[in-house]
Amino acid sequence: MEITNQYNNIGYLYDLDQRDIVKDDLSFYIDYAHQYGQEILEVACGTGRISIPLAREGFNVTGIDLSDHMIKVLEHKLLNESMDTRSRVNPFVADMTEFISNKKFSLIIIPFRSFQLLTEESQITRFLKNVRTQLTEDGVFILTAYRPYGLLDETWVQDEHEDWVIYDQNTNKKVTRTQIRKSIDTDKQITYPEHIYYIEEPDGTTQKHTQKLAMKYYYEEQLRNLLVTSGFNIREEFGYYDLRPIEEGPELIFVCNLRIS
């Protein structure tokens, strides 16, 4: 089954998100890049929120994303960067379960819970196999997921509620993002949320863009076991990007390397 592209045509809206969660991880990835990042692969790179700052730090970054719109936004943003930074980012439109490079990477990252967009076992297996194939023997793979806040049951189905509001100074538009949790498959641990963007024009008219998602959730031990049985050693694990213990944070962050038999 192919991965459905959920992010086309909203790249410029994606960049308006100013919540701490889309800022706090950057220094974390930069720190690991300084330890392992001779060549970096960012999976689900989006509009370059992490790829571009890594390139500014002097690292070579291959960024892949399923959304051609996201990649176009990234390429447009690179036009405002130095020649050196532009030369260090190599973006591709690609399916993360199929992408194979002709080189290996010393650091592979899949930030901001994008791994959870893989909902089929075959997708998950192919992706982790591709990571193993493309990671250097001494390289590091960092995977993140959202820790379920409780039992994955029908209480996860929720009515529309507001996530954030921002006034875009570049366009003089007010953008409000809301979220509806439409349904949940409790057996497969997959939720079906919708992100809704309301764009209020300066003249008061409003446009609405709806983004339908499917996200697979994992309990901590499930994700740990998946990584180990997929051929990885877990070197470190954290609950947030400030390196707090995994049991004390809202995230599941695993820093892995290859298990060499």
Per residue in 127-157, pLDDT (tens digit) is 999 999 999 999 999 999 999 999 999 999 9
CB 260 within 8 A of CB 137: yes
For 47, 49, 51, 155, 250, the CA distances from 37, given in Å and listed in that order, are: 20, 17, 12, 41, 26
Mean pLDDT, the chain, as a whole number? 94
**Average pLDDT rounded to a whole number, residues 102-111:** 97
- Determine contact, residues 119/96, Cβ cutoff 8 Å: no
Going from N- to C-terminal start, the domains of the chain cover 11-148+218-258, 154-216
Q: Residue 85 is inside which H or E element, if any? A: helix 83-88
Q: Return the closest-CA partner of residue 16 out of 59, 56, 47.
A: 47
Read off the pLDDT of residues 155-204 as tens digits, 9 standing for 90 and up. 999 999 999 999 998 889 999 999 999 999 999 999 999 999 999 999 99
Q: 45 is written with which tokens?
A: 């790179």
pLDDT at 35: 98
Q: What share of the chain is helix, strand, coil (3-state, %, to 5)?
A: 30, 35, 35
Quick one: CATH architecture of 154-216? Single Sheet (2.20)
For the cut 50, the answer to whether the pLDDT of residue 4 exceeds it is no
**Of 151, 145, 132, 133, the residue nearest 229 (C-alpha):** 132
Rounded Cα gap, residues 3 and 19, in angstroms: 27
Rounded to 5°, the CA angle 174-24-210 comes to 35
Options 3.10.105.10, 3.40.50.150, 3.30.465.10, 3.20.20.370; CATH for 11-148+218-258 is: 3.40.50.150
pLDDT at residue 9, rounded to an integer:
58
* Alpha-carbon torsion (146, 66, 79, 37), positive or negative: positive
* Residue 56 to residues 40, 53, 112, Cα–Cα distance (Å): 13, 5, 20
* Contacts of residue 93, Cβ cutoff 8 Å, sequence gap at least 6: 64, 65, 66, 67, 68, 71
Q: Enter the tokens of residue 237.
A: 């694990």
Nearest to 246 by CA among 258, 257, 234: 234
